[in-house]
Chain A
Amino acid sequence: MIDIETVAGEEEEAPSRFRQATLGVVGLVAVLAAVLATVQLDASQRESRALAMASRLSVDVSAGTTASMIVATLPLESVQQALSLGVESTSRSIGALEDEALGPLEEIRAAPDAAASERLLAIAGELGEAPEPGGPLDAYAAGLLTARVDDLFALSEDQNAQITIAEAYGARSARGVLGLSLLALAGVLAGLASVMGAGRAGSASLAVAAVVTALAAAAGLSAVL
Chain B
Amino acid sequence: MSVAARPGTERDGRAVALLLACAAAAAAIIATRAAFLSSDASGAWQEALRVEVKRGAAAVETIRHVYSSEARIAFAVARASVRQEEFSRAAGEQTGEAAEILAFEAAVQQRVVDALLPAAAIASDPRYARPSGGFDLVARLADVRAEQPDLVALDPEPPQQEGDDAATKAVLLLATVVPVALTLLIGSLAQAFARRRRALLVLGTTSLSIGATLAVLVELMS
List A residues at the B interface (Cβ < 8 Å): 16, 19-20, 23-24, 26-28, 30-31, 33-35, 37-38, 41-42, 44-45, 48-49, 52, 55-56, 59-60, 62-63, 66-67, 70-71, 73-74, 77-78, 81-82, 85, 104-105, 108-109, 111-113, 115-116, 119-120, 122-124, 126-127, 129-132, 135-138, 140-141, 144-145
Name the 3 nearest CB pairs between A and B, nearest first: A27-B185, A34-B181, A27-B188
Is the beta-carbon distance between A141 and B145 smaller than 8 angstroms? yes
Is the beta-carbon distance between B184 and A30 smaller than 8 angstroms? yes
How far is B136's CA from A126's CA once the two chains are assembled, in angstroms? 8
| B contact face: mostly helix, strand, loop, or mixed | helix
Binds A, one of B6-14, B59-67, B212-220: B59-67
Given A123-B133, A137-B141, does the pair A27, B67 have CB atoms closer than 8 Å? no
Out of A31, A74, A112, name the residue touching B68 (CB < 8 Å).
Answer: A74
Is the beta-carbon distance between B48 and A56 smaller than 8 angstroms? yes
Number of residue pairs A-B, CB distance < 8 angstroms: 208
Is the beta-carbon distance between B192 and A38 smaller than 8 angstroms? no
Which of B97, B145, B181 gathers the greatest number of chain A CB atoms within 10 Å?
A: B181
**Smallest CB gap from B177: residue in A:** A34
Question: Which residues from B are CB-within-8-Å of A77?
Answer: 72
Out of B59, B83, B139, name the residue touching A112 (CB < 8 Å).
Answer: B83
CB of A134, distance to nearest CB on chain B (Å): 12
Given A38-B177, A111-B90, A131-B142: 19 more A-B contacts, CB < 8 Å: A16-B192, A24-B185, A24-B192, A26-B184, A27-B189, A31-B185, A34-B27, A63-B59, A66-B60, A74-B68, A74-B72, A108-B94, A108-B98, A123-B75, A123-B130, A123-B134, A127-B135, A129-B138, A130-B138
| A contact face: mostly helix, strand, loop, or mixed | helix
Which of A33, A108, A135, A145 gathers the greatest number of chain B CB atoms within 10 Å?
A: A108
How far is B102's CA from A41's CA once the two chains are assembled, in angstroms? 80
Check if B201 is an interface residue, CB within 8 A of chain A: no
Out of A109, A116, A127, A141, name the residue touching B62 (CB < 8 Å).
Answer: A141
Check if B162 is an interface residue, CB within 8 A of chain A: no
Listed A/B pairs (15) with beta-carbon separation below 8 Å: A23-B188, A31-B184, A37-B177, A38-B178, A41-B170, A45-B170, A59-B49, A112-B83, A113-B83, A116-B85, A116-B86, A123-B132, A126-B135, A136-B139, A137-B141
Out of A41, A55, A145, name the residue touching B174 (CB < 8 Å).
Answer: A41
Question: Which residues from B are CB-within-8-Å of A74?
Answer: 67-68, 71-72, 75, 137
**Smallest CB gap from B64: residue in A:** A70
**Smallest CB gap from B57: residue in A:** A63
CB of B46, distance to nearest CB on chain A (Å): 7
Check if B171 is an interface residue, CB within 8 A of chain A: yes
**Smallest CB gap from B184: residue in A:** A30
Question: Which residues from A are CB-within-8-Å of B75?
Answer: 74, 78, 81, 123-124, 127
Question: Which residues from B are CB-within-8-Å of A109?
Answer: 101-102, 105
Given A116-B82, A123-B78, A140-B55, does the pair A41, B45 have CB atoms closer than 8 Å? no
